[in-house]
Structure 1
Amino acid sequence: MVEQISLYRAPTTVTDSERLAAWLDERVDADVTVRERFLDRHADEALPSAFAQARVRSPYEPETGSEMFGVVRYEKRALSHPERAGGVLYDGRSLQDALRKRLPTGSLDHAHVVLLDRVLGTWGEHDGRWHKRVSVLGQPALISVPGLYEAPAKPESYYEAQHRHALLSGDTPPREVLENEVDGDFLVEDDPRTTAALQGYVLSAIHYLATGEAFCDDERCRLSNPHRHPGVIAAQLRAPAFCPDHDAMYGNRRE
């Protein structure tokens, strides 16, 4: 049983951690506490190397990591100045292992949910490539804020516009151009809906520790794990909030 929850901020993102914690507190029977950035609280001299070892080298190669001095130096700088980090995909499981070693306790009755400003991925054995993820469940649970924008596939209209631009100009336009041009419901960087959209992912992390259930199969439920942006919008931002089974567990206070 989860009795205590620590939610760690991601201060370089638009995520409102207090609002997340308040929403969670209404739905779980546990003490919810917002803490400062995990990578500030529990950093040590070896952590930059752990980030360097978790770097994905290629979308189609399972091997990760670099021991180059410049890469480790970059990761050390990124930990101290997170606003300067970006453009790197990390192995979510490797990072989770590294952060788990730095937890103050290994007890599963104290859930640690770490909001990150890094893009996380997991290797797909079924298709031989890396897949970006919004969350990596476990202890600690990792929630990638940029993953919310980058991991789910965009609506078909987005890719059609991307293809059309490529045919006309021979190049792919910047993401911002497509986001402003395409009609469709999807989340963009620094989207004001970010905090609300992350609520279900944070609850999923607690639900997994408490029950062992990873994600709900009902695509309407906030505990589901949609692979496309329209599905994320439907599950996280539209009624109903939960499927009947999970509504009985977490829907006692309505949206």
Structure 2
Amino acid sequence: MVSTVILYRAPTTVADVDTIADWLAGRVDATVTVRDRFLDGHRTGDLPERFAEARVTSPYDRDTGNTMLGTIRYEERALEDPDREGGVLYDGVTVQRALNTALPADERGLDTLHVPLLDRAIGTWGDHDGRWHKRVTVLGQPALVSVPGLYEAPAKPEEYYREKQRHSLLSGDTPPREVLENRVEGEFLIEDDPRTTDALKGYVLQAAHYLETGEPFCDRRTCRLFNAHYHEDLIEAQLREPEFCDEHARLYEAD
């Protein structure tokens, strides 16, 4: 039984972990606490090399890793200064194993759930189609929650990608938020979206639910435990009423 949930801040993102913790504390039968960035408090000497080994080098290549000295030096700098990290996809399972090793021995049991919010993009390999897929979460211990994954993992409306490509061809950069929102039909989240904190609440609850019950997700689109593959479904599940399906409302509806 999970008795303690520890959330870790992602200081380079707009995610308000304290607000998420307050929301979670009203819904789980566990003590919920917040700590600063996981990679500041829990670190092993080989962590830069482990991150280098977890790098996805091609969307269609199952093998990962680039452990050349320059890459390891990059990962060292990214650990010290997370503002310098970006544009890299990591194998979420390999990262999870590395961070599990970094946990203190007395906090590694399944009665204490660690949920680091990460400013890195993580993915898992799809055996069904032979390619990597970005993810918001990798459940387990610790449970990884990727803030970039919230924006990048679920598919956006097709018009979003067409408009982004068109703008890039004309100006060479990414179109501003207001351009995308005005020209693209459908709802979606983009980097530093003000709805980030609210949207992440359900993903953090998914981590606690999985460790407590062994059930990964709910199959109902109107529940925060739903694993959305499209942004419109993400918004339906995380940002609209009701928060939960009838089954999970009995477990997690706030008093």
TM range (shorter): over 0.9
C-alpha displacement at 1:67, in angstroms? 1.4
Mapped contact 1:6–1:35 kept (Cα < 8 A): yes
**Inter-partner Cα distance in structure 2 for 1:206 and 1:145:** 17
Cα distance change on mapping 1:188 and 1:205 into 2, 3 Å: same
Per-residue deviation, 1:155: 1.6
Q: What aligned pairs does 1:92-111 form with structure 2 within 5 A after superposition?
A: 92-104=92-104, 105-111=107-113
2:113 partner SS: strand
The 4+ residue runs of structure 1 with deviation greater than 3 A are: 159-163, 168-173, 175-178
Q: Deviation per CA, 1:109-156: give whole Å up to 9, x if none.
A: 111101000000000000000000000000000000010000010023
Separation in 1, partners of 2:74, 2:162: 36
> What 5-or-longer segments of structure 2 have no aligned partner?
none
Correspondence 1:42-191 to 2 at 5 A: 42-104=42-104, 105-162=107-164, 165=166, 174=174, 176=176, 179-180=180-181, 181-191=183-193
Name the SS of the counterpart of 2:2 in structure 1.
coil
Cα-to-partner distance string for 1:168-197 (whole Å, 9 max, x where unaligned):
958986254763532331101111100000
Please tell me the residue identity of whatever aligns with 2:184: V
| Higher deviation after alignment, 178-187 or 29-38 | 178-187
**1:248 maps to what in 2?**
250
Residue in structure 2 matched with residue 233 of structure 1 by the alignment: 235
> May I ask how many residue pairs the two structures share in their alignment?
251
What one-letter code is carried by the residue in structure 2 that aligns with 1:227?
H
For 2:67 and 2:173, locate their aligned partners in 1 and report how far apart those are by CA, in whole Å.
34
SS, match of residue 61 in structure 1:
coil
What is the one-letter code of the residue matched to 1:202? V
Q: What SS does the corresponding residue of 1:64 show, helix, strand or coil?
A: coil
Q: 1:179 to 1:245 in 2, by over 3 A?
A: same
TM value normalised by structure 2: 0.94
Distance across 1 between alignment mates of 2:55 and 2:180: 28
Structure 1: distance between partners of 2:186 and 2:36: 35
Q: Structure 1 length as normaliser, TM-score?
A: 0.94
* Amino acid aligned to 2:31: D
Percent same amino acid among aligned pairs?
A: 59
CA distance in structure 2 between the partners assigned to 1:175 and 1:92 by the alignment: 29
The alignment's C-alpha RMSD in Å is 1.8
Contact 1:200–1:236 (Cα < 8 Å) also in 2: yes
Whole-angstrom distance in 1 between the partners of 2:152 and 2:205: 20
Give SS of 1:183's match: coil
2:86 is paired with a residue of what secondary structure? coil
One-letter amino acid of the structure 2 residue matched with residue 204 of structure 1: Q
1:38 is matched with 38
Q: Give the distance between the partners of 1:175 and 1:61, measured in 2 at CA.
A: 30
In 2, the alpha carbon distance for the partners of 1:73 and 1:173 equals 28
SS at match of 2:62: strand
Which residue, out of 200, 203, 208, partners 2:202?
Answer: 200
- The residue matched to 2:63 in structure 1 has which SS? strand
Q: Distance in 2 between matches of 1:182 and 1:155?
A: 8
Contact 1:96 1:139 in 2 (8 A): yes
* 211 and 200 in structure 1: CA distance in 2 versus 1, 3 angstrom threshold: same
> 1:95 aligns to what SS in structure 2?
helix
Unmatched 5+ residue regions in structure 1? none
Q: CA deviation at 1:66?
A: 1.1
For the 8 Å contact 2:4–2:30, the answer to whether it is kept is yes
Q: Structure 1 residues 70, 169: closer, same or farther in 2, change over 3 A?
A: closer
The aligned counterpart of 2:224 is 222
